[in-house]
Structure 1
Amino acid sequence: MAEAENTLAVFIDFENLALGFKHSKEDFDFHRVLERLVEKGKVIVKVAYADWSRYAKYKQQLHEAAIELIEIPKRSMTGKNSADIHLSVDAMDLCYSKAHIDTFVIVSGDSDFSPLVSKLKANGKRVIGLGMKDSTSTLLSDNCDEFIFYETLGKQERITAPGVRDIPKEKREVFELLFDTIAGLIRENKEILWSSMVKDTMKRKRPAFSERAYGYRTFSDLLEDAQKQGFIDLRTDPTSGTYVVVGFTKGTRG
């Protein structure tokens, strides 16, 4: 039987992220964040807080990622905004009203969110933090169940295998997505990689994914082809009769 799927709520203190990017040579790419988070479960809430008049260039990519943008006007006297208060109130409201959400992701490095993290954990929630190295307080990162530095996203060496370049381009794409997904689930320490879990994660990474678009009648056919090509090992669960991905073959490396 497949293990229960985690459900995630993501709260983004965008101004703190922008502070971390102030001296960076690259622009913020939220798709890199989502690529990692969907390996952890189903993201059902995505909210970002900022004075968006200052960050208009990021609004398009955030809208494309279906993120709700909450406008936090700057206070005329102090020059600060109340994003941390709004974010904390909304997170706790969701904590109490939506029991099915088991994981909260706080995208910020601000130590002011440490009490929020403690409160969420006290209510039985798992808390993941994500932020820039230069703008993250150790008080926050050490208090989270897990903390991810943005700079590490997408830096993992891609899984390669002998012969993968000989596969037609249209199928090479789906194999690369499959490899990336399996590697991510292994990184998340999933005990059993059920075929349904692998497919669901692939669809979260690429919502338009369908094995039929690559010439496979079923997802099992795709897995069987990957095994036949010598990229992955499979076994059949004796109870359900469904495939379980054992892992990569020795010739496939990351």
Structure 2
Amino acid sequence: MTEIHEGQRVAVLADSQNLYHSAQSVYSRNVDYSKMLEKAVMGRQLTRAIAYVIRADSPDEESFFEALRDIGFETKIKEIKTFGDGSKKADWDVGISLDAVTLADHVDTLILCTGDADFSRLCSHLRHEGVRVEVVAFEESAAADLKAAADSFIDMSKREDTFLL
């Protein structure tokens, strides 16, 4: 597996819904995306940073999307779907996975900012392809399978003053 070095090409994929709900449920705070990106990249060569977000018609979401772009994230936006029974669904699991597999040929390391267990198999696949996989998430909401499947895990909970607003 690729070790960490200055010239290493990295991509950061941030599952904003997962991060938001984790930070809110555990700390009632929001994620500092600027610090998260800085700490994830660790001085390496950032190839691409993508934040996957959901448009839910919240009052401050457009300013949040703009702030992400100002930090350096490309935003991919999905509309929330409301079903006939009133239930709502919106997730980016397939989109994140497809982007990760597509980016694998262009980076040395892929950094997943999520605690979602659904990405465990993706981590295994990427590592098999020779890509280093790092996970950045909150310990309290990060799946054990995901952490085990990655090359490294950065626990945002250990430095909440850094990673939270």
TM-score relative to the length of structure 2: 0.81
The answer to whether the 8 Å contact 2:14/2:113 transfers is: yes
The answer to whether the 8 Å contact 1:128/1:146 transfers is: yes
For structure 2, list consecutive stretches of 5 or more residues without a partner in the other structure. Answer: none
Query: Which amino acid is 2:53 matched to?
Result: A
Q: Distance in 2 between matches of 1:154 and 1:82?
A: 25
Query: Which amino acid is 2:32 matched to?
Result: D
Larger strand fraction of residues: 2
2:53 to 50, 54, 64: 50
Distance 1:135 1:58, change over 3 A: farther
Matching of residue 41 in structure 1 with residue 47 in structure 2:
no
Q: Distance in 2 between matches of 1:10 and 1:92?
A: 13
Q: Distance in 2 between matches of 1:34 and 1:153?
A: 14
Distance 1:113 1:137, change over 3 A: same
Q: Distance in 2 between matches of 1:85 and 1:106?
A: 14
For structure 1, list consecutive stretches of 5 or more residues without a partner in the other structure. Answer: 157-254
Query: Which amino acid is 2:14 matched to?
Result: I
Query: Which amino acid is 2:39 matched to?
Result: R
Distance 1:40 1:139, change over 3 A: farther
Partner of 1:81: 90
1:205-241, CA deviations, whole angstroms, 9 ceiling, x for partnerless residues? xxxxxxxxxxxxxxxxxxxxxxxxxxxxxxxxxxxxx
Shift of 1:25: 3.8
Q: Distance in 2 between matches of 1:141 and 1:71?
A: 26
Q: Distance in 1 between matches of 2:139 and 2:67?
A: 22
The answer to whether the 8 Å contact 2:12/2:37 transfers is: no
Q: Distance in 2 between matches of 1:9 and 1:60?
A: 20
Q: Distance in 2 between matches of 1:105 and 1:52?
A: 23
1:68-122, CA deviations, whole angstroms, 9 ceiling, x for partnerless residues? 11012223225222400001011101214x2xx1000001000000111011001
The answer to whether the 8 Å contact 2:6/2:43 transfers is: no
Higher Cα Rg, which structure: 1
Q: Secondary structure of 1:120's partner?
A: helix
Q: Distance in 2 between matches of 1:52 and 1:69?
A: 11
1:105 to 101, 111, 118: 111
Partner of 1:147: 153
Shift of 1:134: 2.4
The answer to whether the 8 Å contact 1:6/1:40 transfers is: no
The answer to whether the 8 Å contact 2:20/2:30 transfers is: no
Deviates more, 1:139-148 or 1:77-86: 77-86
Query: Which amino acid is 1:31 matched to?
Result: S
Query: Which amino acid is 2:33 matched to?
Result: F
TM-score relative to the length of structure 1: 0.55
Q: Distance in 1 between matches of 2:160 and 2:118?
A: 28
Q: Distance in 2 between matches of 1:38 and 1:143?
A: 20
Q: Percent identity among equivalent residues?
A: 25
- Paired residues in the alignment total 151
Query: Which amino acid is 1:103 matched to?
Result: T
Matching of residue 125 in structure 1 with residue 139 in structure 2:
no
The answer to whether the 8 Å contact 1:32/1:154 transfers is: no
Query: Which amino acid is 2:51 matched to?
Result: A
